[in-house]
Structure 1
């Protein structure tokens, strides 16, 4: 088995000829494939179903700080991904299937997923699997969220980890990949500024199209009255301290009743419900990122939910699944 470099056709992955697409790596040696892909995304090991059919190909390009990659293996493989802290990896399956864990959720053609910083996964990939990845630095996503909403988001961004084919998120990811691949490379000093602007627009679209813990936050009015804005920002910055409505009113220098009127008028909810939803979001983020650490009860207690039945009902009502299901997915 000889390692070679070979061109990976952009039409094979994207369905179109592109400007920036290039071959990055090809090998028939599983250990070399694991090493190269591990340095590009996160450390991981590969278990190959049929070594004689293994033919890993990776194409892609850099666009500013964003890396676009397309990968196939030519053989059934199991990829065990170790946690990394620096990047989000948004993925769209072009062909074949991918299953998280031995009995986890199976992704088909057109489905989209995301690997969050700090997550660990075991993924079972079919021999005909072809995958597009968009790697974006976590700090860039945080800055984009801040620019879009006007405040610094607390904790993880909490992107949903499975979006079906045809969903806004899946279509946005496909459209973004084509846009970046077809954007010419200009030989001008100003092209750096141009690419930076387009990179920011890409992150804005992902934040708007991809359901996440900050989706409701981004849907709020761009301009809020001073008191309501201060209260909202305080909750996001101090959610872990579990402030009460009274604490919030004192911080803003208004009565509880005035605070409630502001939230009802401008955010269509109460301060208490806003706090509960925010804490539920943080529970979900922790279960998704650290499914193996602790248990659901411990995580719930950390965020102020001490009544198990009430917590489970609220969680299911907000996310459409039980917290134990979220934790199981987090275990990969």
Structure 2
């Protein structure tokens, strides 16, 4: 059954089919299909349940950092048992057909007007009709939980859990976002050339889902941006402020924070807009400026730069001028 072209999903239905460069695979083999889908999602059980039906699977895919958008159909009635998704959340929007989705203790009959939002920590099992064709948005769990932490201004005391059913066509913001993602899937080239845009799209997806779909933190008031700093980010900031004069390695900062190096950098990126080492560099620039404003110093600008770890004078002068609007020597002259 094809979706009539007058329905809101019709544009999405046509677009993903018109993007051959995004086709991840096409296969009639159950084991091959299971393995290829697992590369994008996670290992799972896949079985044909529709009598003597033959698999005609096809998947399109676009990766956007901590977010990805895919389109998947099996061409046969199948059961899918991934268990707990663990490290990602999954929004599944049927373009045609239907799917029975069990997540935790809830069960949903999903269809083109009713999407499913599967929470990462809940056991999940699905049964797709033979004509089921789904558009799916995958969001990394650590990233989505960091975005929620930013909104609340505190660390989470329970796993994030969404309501299972989402009437996505009644949510204009989410529907427009999905159309935008599909447009990128159809038209954009190598996404590694658009890192800034990818980062913005990641945040748009996360914030849109958190605002459009009910979850167990929905009733809590949002915090002001100035109060939003996770404990591990604050801990490292305080350490850098106190030890800006010392030789500091990123690995040591991760140990102090008690998180992985990747999580540390992600936390600083999300909440400070810069890396921990750039944060340290800015502290040192501020300290160097303070020394220059304190009055004449022996050795002049060079000695101040070296004191705060800037061995390349040209680079120090350029970064200093970019940050303060004047060169180090100009600061020293006006004291």
| TM-score, normalised relative to structure 1 | 0.56
The CA RMSD over aligned residues, in Å, is 3.4
Equivalent-residue separation in structure 2 for 1:185 and 1:108 (angstroms): 29
Q: Alpha carbons of 1:15 and 1:150: their partners in 2 closer, same or farther (altered >3 Å)? A: farther
Equivalent-residue separation in structure 1 for 2:31 and 2:180 (angstroms): 33
Q: Alpha carbons of 1:50 and 1:214: their partners in 2 closer, same or farther (altered >3 Å)? A: same
Count of aligned positions: 215
Q: Could you tell me whether the CA contact under 8 Å between 1:68 and 1:133 is conserved in 2?
A: yes
Map 1:101-250; keep pairs closer than 5 Å.
Answer: 104-164=107-167, 166-168=169-171, 172-183=173-184, 185=188, 191-217=194-220, 220=221, 222-223=223-224
What SS does the corresponding residue of 2:113 show, helix, strand or coil?
Answer: coil
Map 1:290-305; keep pairs closer than 5 Å.
Answer: none
Q: Alpha carbons of 1:29 and 1:20: their partners in 2 closer, same or farther (altered >3 Å)? A: closer
- Displacement of 1:84 in angstroms is 3.2
Q: Could you tell me whether the CA contact under 8 Å between 1:51 and 1:75 is conserved in 2?
A: no
Q: Could you tell me whether the CA contact under 8 Å between 2:101 and 2:116 is conserved in 1?
A: no
- Displacement of 1:207 in angstroms is 0.6
> Can you list the C-alpha shifts for 1:7-61, whole angstroms capped at 9, x where unaligned?
xxx9785343677961001110112112221232122112212454310100121
Q: Could you tell me whether the CA contact under 8 Å between 2:45 and 2:80 is conserved in 1?
A: yes
User: Who is 1:45 aligned against?
Assistant: 45
What SS does the corresponding residue of 1:166 show, helix, strand or coil?
Answer: helix
- Displacement of 1:106 in angstroms is 1.4
What SS does the corresponding residue of 1:53 show, helix, strand or coil?
Answer: coil
What SS does the corresponding residue of 2:69 show, helix, strand or coil?
Answer: strand
- Displacement of 1:117 in angstroms is 1.7
Equivalent-residue separation in structure 1 for 2:54 and 2:155 (angstroms): 48
User: Who is 1:34 aligned against?
Assistant: 34
Q: Could you tell me whether the CA contact under 8 Å between 1:13 and 1:130 is conserved in 2?
A: no
Equivalent-residue separation in structure 1 for 2:39 and 2:91 (angstroms): 17
Q: Alpha carbons of 1:51 and 1:26: their partners in 2 closer, same or farther (altered >3 Å)? A: farther
Q: Could you tell me whether the CA contact under 8 Å between 2:97 and 2:132 is conserved in 1?
A: yes
User: Who is 1:4 aligned against?
Assistant: none
What SS does the corresponding residue of 2:169 show, helix, strand or coil?
Answer: coil
Structure 1, unaligned runs of 5 or more: 1-9, 234-332
What SS does the corresponding residue of 1:105 show, helix, strand or coil?
Answer: strand
User: Who is 1:81 aligned against?
Assistant: 82
| TM-score, normalised relative to structure 2 | 0.56
Equivalent-residue separation in structure 1 for 2:71 and 2:209 (angstroms): 19
Q: Are residue 64 (structure 1) and residue 65 (structure 2) matched?
A: yes
